[in-house]
Structure 1
């Protein structure tokens, strides 16, 4: 009888330890993707449609997206800028604000009209 009691206690301890290991092995939290991942006061671009994939984010103007790993790679964008004087974002096909393209108003997202994701710079502006 004593062996059975020790066996049951040992089994219970191992079960609890196994559960603890399982919890520790699980990821701390699945990475979320989506437009909600763009922080307040930022303009964000993702490498895939639907705000999926790699994300770059900017709080200020950027003359060259190549430095941020988003060179000709944006498939979706979001303007989560703070409402104010410069709250819209003008996108450009080339570095140094060359060949203007779409303007993304504060609070807007673009996905389907990304013109072959050939964007390389942007600046904050007072209106689209």
Structure 2
């Protein structure tokens, strides 16, 4: 009986050693292995124009602040049942949007611009064009 116990104990010890070794290898591969994500640090930047959205909903611009690179087209989407307005005085923009209507504007001028709604002065948006 003692011999069986000692054989069983050695078997369990070997099995646990193998399990620990397999876990250690899996952990090393998962955490310390080579990252397959390409390094873009030396790559050229894309010249493709960007696009973003601003949703007019529940009498708010969502988001209320937006930072974009010059050349970005922003699509304004009215998701309220009422008519809204996008007014950016510094850019001479004044566009009405009926319910479920969309309108896009390309921001080519850098600076910080305040957008508001002539129909509801609580609706405010800050657009920073870099």
Provide TM-score, normalisation by structure 1: 0.31
| Structure with greater Cα Rg | 2
Q: Which of the pair is proportionally richer in strand?
A: 2
